Amino acid sequence: MDVSYEKHADRNVMIIRNIGDSENDYKSKMILNNKIEGIVPMTLEYVNNEKEIHYDITSKTAIKDMFAVHLASAKNLRQFVEDMKSLSDELGKYLIGMECVILDAEFIFFNRNTKRYEFCLLPFFETDMYGGIRNIYEKILELIDYDDKDAVVMAYEIQQVTNNKDFTMADILNCTKVEAQSEVHRKDNEIQETRVNQNIDKYQDKTPEKKRWFEGIFSSFRRKSNYLSSEQLEQIAVSEEENIYNFNGDEVAEEEDNYYETTVLYEETIILRSLEQKDMLIHPDKFPFLIGKSRLKCDYVIDENVISRVHAKIIKKNNTFFIEDMDSTNKTFINGKKLEPGRKERISKGDKITLADVDFIVE
């Protein structure tokens, strides 16, 4: 199909030519004869006996251009997912699926007046719905703000969901709940941080060695609070506070000191040490931890031609580490086994990790 853009009086119009010949089928009639919420307004025109679809894109910006200027935030991504889900529901009322939607960043628009996303439907056109949805979210993955951690987590959750077979729009929508949860986490963290500081103050008169143990525990708690749910945070706060004090507010028995040492060491860490370059040492300190060639998007940059822009990510869950290939060109390997893109694989100390042809040992 051919695409062009024209100015018609006070309207901006996108025109698609060289379209199919099935205007009398059920779906085409439904699309052309009904005003469906969430789609870019469209008309079927005949010019020199050739059919054209005219889309009114006045006051609309293609997301390809919008996110190239302002990277997509978690709020943007959530709105996009909600609007796509709403469109899917609306089309369902007419017994039409998402296969008639052009799922391409050039043909999805942000309406600057309504602050909603609108999609282009093309009569006489059908595509692989699952493949199209998967592709558009992979494209958006390249356009998100990697300084917005909610957006990063949300985008990669969506990628994992869409890599599955027979996912639903509801499955994708569930991935966006991280933003709302994160706001709760932040508020909880402020409360827990206050409690932590108060507990540290209670131990200011203890020996320097003992103070270091307690500060280590609370430091560990602070790191955990970045990744756990509000319920988990509350459990940790209560558990660790009860282990520091007995119910009378006295110091716990000396024999329980070993518990604190265990708690401090509970925060497992790993290092990826290059087998070829002594100065290449990857020490993930936040999660998800992205590795690749892009200085804008990655937490650790490997400036090699064989490395993809976002090559792999390391995830930490329940004190266990995983690595996931981000659909890289030259793939990721664990002990010589090639990973499937989008699928997490557990890694342990002693494993050999290969990104393209760059080898690391996990320590």
Shared domain check, 160 and 50: yes
Decide: helix, strand or coil at residue 337: strand
> What DSSP string describes 71-131?
-B-HHHHHHHHHHHHHHHHHHHTTT--GGGB--STTSEEEETTTTEEEE-B-TT----HHH
Does 152 share its domain with 7?
A: yes
Are residues 278 and 228 both part of a single domain? no
275-300 tens-digit pLDDT: 888 788 999 988 899 999 888 788 89
Segment 211-222, tens digit of pLDDT: 444 444 444 444
Domain final residue, candidates 234, 265, 296: 265
Dig out the tokens for 76 from the structure.
């943007």
Same domain membership, residue 155 and residue 55: yes
pTM for the predicted model, two decimal places: 0.51
Choose one of 175, 190, 218: the last residue of a domain. 175
Domain of residue 227, residue span: 180-265
Number of domains in the chain: 3
pLDDT, tens digit, 9 for 90 and up, residues 125-141 = 777 788 888 888 888 88
Distance in angstroms (rounded) separating the CA atoms of residues 331 and 348? 19
* 33 and 164 together in one domain: yes
Kindly state whether residues 7 and 88 are assigned to the same domain. Answer: yes
Residue 90 is part of a domain; what is its CATH number?
A: 1.10.510.10
Q: Which of 111, 143, 175 is the last residue of a domain?
A: 175
Same domain, 147 and 188: no
148 & 230 share domain: no
Q: Domain check: are 212 and 313 in the same one?
A: no
Same domain, 159 and 120: yes
User: What residues in the chain have per-residue pLDDT under 50?
Assistant: 24, 179-185, 196, 200, 202-207, 209-265
